[in-house]
């Protein structure tokens, strides 16, 4: 262990009893992927209050218990700083909120090693990003899909990162999306409470799964305006799972317009999308509200619907 490690204190309550240690820690630390947690455990970086190291990621979590997780500082690796002209919704010395355009990948991965939001942040913040997310994801506390536009927050140091991550874990972040869904949801407003996990038939897709198999996911939706063959809706996230809005709306029979993975648009709506060359899910992260992890101030930010979605909405108005 290195002296400059960031030490995270994690209290696992009785709800974690019986879970694998790596799963329990990943759920308690949403800023870290399960694979990242597993590598930290195998590297001897997880210990209990008396200093005993827990080496086995597959061991049952001895909950309730308080653990210390030592996260090494991020190293530059292959991430290259790139000047990409970020649209900044809020910034101070602790964190930054980006208004991400559709098409921008959040962090480097296979097939997208540069041109990502992380590359842009490395340039803009001159390397001042938290290290908790590891080499590939410095500063990244949460993510939104490549083809989803809107607000995303990044931390400039580990204290801010940990404070934001705790709010995401507690589901206290106010995240609201504007979407165009096919058809007319009935009822016009409601709640989808359906666990999400990897699809059995396609591991790149998420799916609604039996309770106990995946992670609980809750989306509150309301119809803002009926459109031709579609509806303008707001989705408020109680949880923040991968592809949550897209899968939940498809689950209730109203997939998002333009969604290439979970939706299938029929005529005449498909002809409108083709004519407009609209080839992404119509989803925009429009509102982000949280408590500033350092100052304690309430932060509430809104992002305007981008031109491609706004023009599509205008064309579909009844």
Active site residues: 145
**All residues at 6 or more sequence positions from 313 whose CB lies less than 8 Å from its CB, including other chains:** 180, 227, 232, 305
For residue 14, count CB atoms less than 10 angstroms from its CB and return exposed for 0-12, middle for 13-18, buried for 19 or more: exposed
Q: How many residues does the chain have?
A: 318
Residue with tokens 């759920």: 27
Q: Which two tokens stand for residue 228?
A: 């031709």
Burial track 213-226 (b if 16+ CB lie within 10 A, e otherwise): ebeebbbebebeeb
CA distance 239 to 197: 13
Q: Which two tokens stand for residue 134?
A: 């590891």
Sign of the CA dihedral running 253, 106, 234, 236: positive
Residue pair 168/26 in contact (Cβ under 8 Å)? The answer is no
Phi and psi at 28, nearest 5°, equal -80, -20
Distance separating the N- and C-terminal Cα atoms of the chain: 63
Q: Which two tokens stand for residue 149?
A: 């536009």
Task: Supply the Cα-derived Rg of the chain in whole angstroms.
Answer: 20
In this structure, the strands spanning 218-227 and 95-100 are: unpaired
Residue 174 CA: distances (Å) to CA of 188, 219, 231: 21, 12, 22
């Amino acid at each position: 262990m290195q002296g400059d490690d960031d030490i995270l204190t994690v209290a696992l309550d009785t709800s974690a009893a019986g879970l694998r240690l790596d799963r329990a820690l990943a759920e308690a630390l949403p800023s870290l992927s399960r694979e990242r947690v597993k590598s930290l455990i195998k590297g001897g970086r997880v210990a209990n209050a008396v200093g005993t190291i827990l080496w086995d990621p597959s061991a049952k979590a001895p909950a309730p218990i308080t653990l210390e997780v030592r996260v090494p500082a991020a190293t530059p690796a292959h991430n290259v700083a790139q000047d990409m002209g970020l649209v900044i919704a809020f910034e101070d010395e602790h964190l930054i909120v980006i208004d991400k355009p559709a098409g921008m990948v959040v962090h480097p991965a296979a097939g997208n090693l540069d041109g990502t939001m992380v590359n842009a942040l490395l340039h803009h913040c001159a390397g001042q990003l938290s290290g908790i997310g590891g080499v590939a994801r410095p500063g990244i506390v949460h993510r939104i899909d490549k083809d989803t536009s809107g607000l995303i927050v990044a931390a400039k140091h580990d204290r801010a990162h940990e404070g934001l991550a705790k709010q995401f874990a507690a589901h206290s972040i106010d995240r609201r999306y504007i979407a165009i869904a096919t058809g007319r949801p009935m009822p016009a407003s409601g709640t989808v409470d359906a666990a999400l996990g990897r699809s059995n038939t396609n591991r790149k897709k998420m799916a609604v799964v039996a309770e106990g198999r995946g992670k609980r996911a809750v989306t509150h939706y309301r119809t803002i305006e009926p459109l031709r063959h579609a509806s303008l809706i707001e989705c408020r996230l109680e949880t923040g799972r991968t592809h949550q809005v897209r899968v939940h709306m498809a689950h209730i029979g109203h997939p998002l317009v333009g969604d290439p993975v979970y939706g299938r648009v029929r005529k005449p709506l498909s002809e409108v999308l083709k004519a407009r060359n609209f080839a992404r899910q119509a989803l925009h992260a429009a509102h982000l509200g949280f408590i500033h992890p350092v100052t304690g101030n309430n932060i509430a930010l809104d992002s305007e619907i981008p031109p491609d979605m706004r023009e599509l909405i205008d064309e579909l108005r009844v």
